[in-house]
Amino acid sequence: MSKKLLLKDAHIEGIRTYDVYRRQGGYEAVEKALKLTPDEITEEVKTSGLRGRGGAGFPTGLKWSFLAKPEGVPRYLVVNADESEPGTFKDRYLMEFIPHLLIEGMIISSFAMGANTSYIYIRGEYAWIPDILEQAIDEARAAGFLGKNILGTGYDLEIYVHRGAGAYICGEETALLESLEGKRGNPRLKPPFPAVKGLWACPTVVNNVETIAAVVPIINIGGAEYAKIGVGRSTGTKLISACGNINKPGVYEIDMTITVEEFIYSDEYCGGIPNGKRLKACIPGGSSVPIVPANLLLRTINGEPRYMNYESLADGGFATGTMMGSGGFIVLDEDQSVIKHTMSLAHFYAHESCGQCTPCREGTPWMFKILKKIESGMGTMEDIDLLWDVQRKIEGNTICPLGDAAAWPVASAIRHFRDEFEWYINNPAASSGTYGLGNYADPIPIAAKAEQ
């Protein structure tokens, strides 16, 4: 059984309300944190090894330490709740069922940064969740944890919920800030970085929902104890949104010491693949990370098991590895078409590009058109090379990472599943079918063998 820090009370009836959350030890971390100095809190977060849970995995405490602190200038904490990555829904779970965990984490984090006003920027499609958050904020204020002179410490804080309009690009932190300021959500050129010149040109930290929620257990148990959970630089627990061809889709909290194989086949987590099907591939970190075939997903290039953590998933680089990303774990069984899934993702990124950068604006719809041509049985071998060339000219040539996010799934699909592309081209009459496992399936996984 993995250790639970964020979801340990998720099963308790009424945990969404202040009274029940408080009875379970809620806001004790705030009481503890307000007796520390802001620098001491930041050091605890540094000691914990907490990395950003939104996708980039940047050390959280280090990010906080970059925050400029000029005299007479306000500072802001902005929580990125614009969870729009296909396959990712862990933040929604936290906000919907344990909203006070996020509010508590924001109070502690805001105090550490010297921020007196903080924002939750939430995606427009989460239409019902802002009301839940607003209720939690009102309850926390009524209990004296928000507003003026919190717990008699002289510290003031207000939290506001801002609804986005449904643009994926606003998940990029500078586009989010532009939108929060009432402008079109176009990413900004960097530098300056938000820590120096962010919201309304003031020092700002933008962190993901799960990242801020994790600050609560760090303060409760201490950064050193938190760092003992996990392995290496992958400390603490991680929420995973699991979906696709699995028996038990949902949100799981792992400690990043389990193998990918255990996560897929264990009854504690995904419960295996329905109908005895074989594993074909997986997108382990949300739609923007490279897709990996089963033989590379369950084993590293050294033949060792691949673990559910930042380092192990990336082992071998994009040639054989992938990324933890946002933790959107999408499983594909032997009946799934990599071409169709890649085309669907390419369509998403073409639709969501803000159009500011030419490579992204022109390249993302071009990739979709080529994939659609191949999928519909009208492709040629030259289209594969053209597709590779287009994605290569998008990657690394845009202001924000959306271009990379669009290019990486296409690049990995060609790199690992080129024979499937060729099958679609050589069998146009059968293009509505699927290529099957091909030669990239893993031998029957250990967990599956044990069940036979």
**Domains of the chain (ranges, CATH numbers):** 18-228 (3.40.50.11540), 234-333 (3.10.20.600), 338-435 (1.20.1440.230)
d(C-alpha 113, C-alpha 111), whole Å: 5
pLDDT the model gives residue 451:
45
95 phi and psi angles, rounded to 5 deg: -70, -35
Which pTM was predicted?
0.93
pLDDT the model gives residue 449:
43
Query: Mean pLDDT of residues grouped by 10 in the chain (452 residues)?
Result: 86 96 97 96 97 89 94 96 94 97 98 97 96 98 97 97 95 96 95 96 97 98 95 93 97 94 95 94 93 89 86 86 91 94 96 95 97 94 97 95 95 94 86 60 50 42
259 phi and psi angles, rounded to 5 deg: -85, 160
Chain-centre distance for alpha carbon 32: 29
d(C-alpha 307, C-alpha 300), whole Å: 9
Half-sphere exposure of 199 (CA within 13 A, CB side): 24
pLDDT the model gives residue 452:
39
Ramachandran sector of residue 44 (left: φ over 0; alpha: ψ -120 to 50; beta: rest):
alpha
Closest CA to 330 of 93, 440, 322: 322
Contacts of 310 (CB under 8 A, 6+ apart): 51, 57, 233, 234, 256, 323, 324
8 Å CB contact between 231 and 307: yes
For residue 111, what are its two tokens?
């105090």
pLDDT the model gives residue 433:
59
d(C-alpha 280, C-alpha 334), whole Å: 5
pLDDT the model gives residue 353:
95
Contacts of 385 (CB under 8 A, 6+ apart): none
d(C-alpha 271, C-alpha 256), whole Å: 18
Q: Pairing between strand 117-122 and 158-163?
A: parallel
State the DSSP H helix or E strand holding residue 122, giving kind and residue range, or none if neither: strand 117-122
